[in-house]
């Protein structure tokens, strides 16, 4: 009976030791998981900011492209008027730009 009690106590001690070891490993894994989660949140925020900047720069480019097209069209009109001999109209149009 005493031997069975000693075996049971030894098993209990081993179980407690394994539990403590498992708890330490769990804490390490959980800490790594939290670190990765923090990194993912930071990357997600950076991605959102990058998308916002791309959208903003795209809008700026489109706006400038439109302005450039308008100026190109006005220049073509001025050239056409200048070649057609209507210098006075060309000069007036130049001042409107």
* Least confidently predicted of 5-9, 10-14, 46-50: 5-9
Rounded to whole angstroms, the Cα distance separating 23 from 31 reads 12
16-56: pLDDT as tens digits: 898 999 999 999 999 999 999 999 999 999 999 999 999 99
Q: Does residue 91 surpass a pLDDT of 70?
A: no
| Phi-psi group of 85: left, alpha or beta (phi > 0 → left; psi -120 to 50 → alpha; rest → beta) | left
Domain residue spans in the chain? 2-96
């Amino acid at each position: 009976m005493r031997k069975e009690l000693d075996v049971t106590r030894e098993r209990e001690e081993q179980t407690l030791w394994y539990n403590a070891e498992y708890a330490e490993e769990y804490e390490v894994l959980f800490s790594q998981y939290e670190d990765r989660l923090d990194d993912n949140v930071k990357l997600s925020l950076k991605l959102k900011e990058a998308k916002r900047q791309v959208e903003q720069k795209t809008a700026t480019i489109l706006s400038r492209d439109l302005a450039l097209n308008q100026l190109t069209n006005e220049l073509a009109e001025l050239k056409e008027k200048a070649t057609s001999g209507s210098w006075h109209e060309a000069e007036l149009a130049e001042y409107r730009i």
